[in-house]
């Protein structure tokens, strides 16, 4: 994790830090997607569930949806 990422990490609510760290370190694609969705929705889980931004490249993967078809293409 670089300095900018560490600074951002330290500002996150404690409950979201582990997911962010795992995503940034490349250990979990699902956690990286979840972290980005939370970032976009100001760390509000309910807003991620209700997201209507279907133009987002990650929209079909929010809340774990579509994870079973994810590939490394």
Q: 68 exposed, middle or buried (CB, 10 Å; 0-12, 13-18, 19+)?
A: exposed
Is the pLDDT score of 66 beyond 70? no
Residue 29, phi-psi category: left (phi > 0), alpha (psi -120 to 50), beta (remainder): alpha
Is the pLDDT score of 73 beyond 50? no
Place 68 in a pLDDT band, splitting at 50, 70 and 90.
low
For the entire predicted model, the pTM comes to: 0.72
What pLDDT, on a 0 to 100 scale, did the predictor assign at position 55?
92
Q: Which residues contact 16 (CB under 8 A, 6 or more apart)?
A: 35, 38, 43
What pLDDT, on a 0 to 100 scale, did the predictor assign at position 23?
87
Write the pLDDT tens digit of every residue in 13-39: 998 899 889 888 988 888 889 889 999
């Amino acid at each position: 994790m670089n300095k900018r990422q560490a600074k951002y990490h330290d500002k996150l609510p404690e409950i979201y830090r582990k997911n962010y760290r795992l995503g940034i370190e490349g250990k979990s694609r699902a956690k990286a997607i979840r972290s980005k969705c939370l970032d976009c929705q100001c760390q509000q889980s309910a807003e991620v569930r209700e997201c209507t931004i279907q133009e987002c490249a990650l929209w079909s993967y929010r809340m774990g949806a579509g994870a079973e078809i994810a590939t490394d293409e």
